[in-house]
């Protein structure tokens, strides 16, 4: 089986090389033929205006697929930084997103996040749990780094155990699991009293006449 061809972004390659790219604005044409026309006229990309034109997602995808087949880059302008169609367009042929009316750094960060797959809790490890506190987590031993905010709200439950075992090995004693429930002094005392009662000799008590 032959290797599948690698899909490249001609516009991005030209920008990396410091070259000037020529593009065509698409607002009226609703057929993929506009991509072929742009390619025949020497354009390097097409700019599909989804903000001011009444395009459906299917129309944009059809034009984008034709552009990819012609070897030019399809980019699309969406309605805002909160446009819900961004990921759908990127999944269906569009190779670049243009956001309008970005006025603040917060809007720019939101626009970038909209174009990426959401992080699923920073890919937590197998034994991870969510920790929302900024104080020292009970899973962490005392010492340096105990007071910290866990990155992304994800905390590794095994980190404290590994650190405790490491410290125990350095101290020359057997490591103890900090998560293991220790028997309280009260319970120890009750156990000793019960054992003494069981071992004490029983005396017969005669009833009074």
- The model's pLDDT over 145-191, given as tens digits with 9 standing for 90+, comes to 444 444 444 445 566 677 777 777 776 655 455 555 555 555 556 66
Residues with Cβ within 8 Å of 79's Cβ and at least 6 positions away in sequence, in order, are 50, 51, 100
Which domain-ending residue is among 114, 131, 166?
114
Q: How many CB atoms lie within 10 A of CB 162?
A: 12
Q: Is 43 a catalytic residue?
A: no
Residue 14 belongs to a domain: yes
Domain that holds residue 35: 10-114
List of the chain residues with pLDDT < 50: 1, 120-155, 175, 204-209
What pLDDT was estimated at residue 132? 44
What's the Cα-to-Cα distance from 120 to each of 44, 77, 117, 137, 152, rounded to whole Å? 36, 27, 9, 22, 10
What pLDDT was estimated at residue 58? 94
What's the Cα-to-Cα distance from 191 to each of 180, 181, 188, 194, 198, rounded to whole Å? 20, 17, 5, 5, 11
Q: How many CB atoms lie within 10 A of CB 124?
A: 15
- Residue 62 to residue 65: CA distance in whole angstroms: 5
What pLDDT was estimated at residue 77? 95
**Strand 128-130 versus strand 154-156 pairing type:** antiparallel
Residue 150 belongs to a domain: yes
Catalytic residue among 52, 62, 155, 179: 52
What pLDDT was estimated at residue 128? 44
Residue 208 belongs to a domain: no
**Strand 45-49 versus strand 96-98 pairing type:** unpaired
Residue 66 belongs to a domain: yes
Residue 147 and residue 169 in one domain: yes
What pLDDT was estimated at residue 151? 43
What pLDDT was estimated at residue 94? 95
What angle do helix axes 57-70 and 33-40 make, rounded to 10 degrees? 40
Q: Per the structure, how many domains does the chain have?
A: 2
Q: What is the pTM of this model?
A: 0.54
């Amino acid at each position: 089986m032959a290797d599948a061809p690698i899909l490249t972004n001609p516009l991005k390659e030209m920008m990396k090389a410091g070259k000037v790219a020529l593009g065509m604005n698409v607002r009226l044409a609703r057929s993929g033929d506009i991509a072929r026309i742009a390619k025949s006229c020497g354009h390097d990309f097409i700019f599909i205006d989804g903000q001011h034109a009444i395009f459906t997602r299917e129309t944009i995808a059809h034009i984008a697929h034709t552009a990819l087949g012609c070897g030019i880059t399809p980019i699309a302008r969406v309605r805002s930084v909160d446009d819900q169609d961004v990921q759908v367009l990127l999944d269906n042929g569009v190779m670049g997103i243009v956001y309008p009316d970005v006025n603040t750094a917060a809007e720019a960060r939101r626009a970038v996040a909209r174009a990426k797959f959401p992080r699923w809790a920073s890919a937590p490890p197998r034994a991870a749990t969510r920790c929302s506190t900024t104080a020292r987590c009970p899973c962490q031993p005392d010492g340096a780094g105990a007071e910290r905010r866990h990155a992304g709200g994800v905390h590794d439950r095994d980190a404290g155990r590994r650190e405790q075992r490491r410290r125990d090995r350095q101290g020359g004693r057997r490591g103890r699991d900090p998560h293991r429930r220790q028997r309280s002094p009260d319970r120890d005392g009750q156990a000793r009293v019960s054992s003494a009662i069981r071992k004490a000799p029983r005396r017969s008590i005669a009833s009074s006449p």
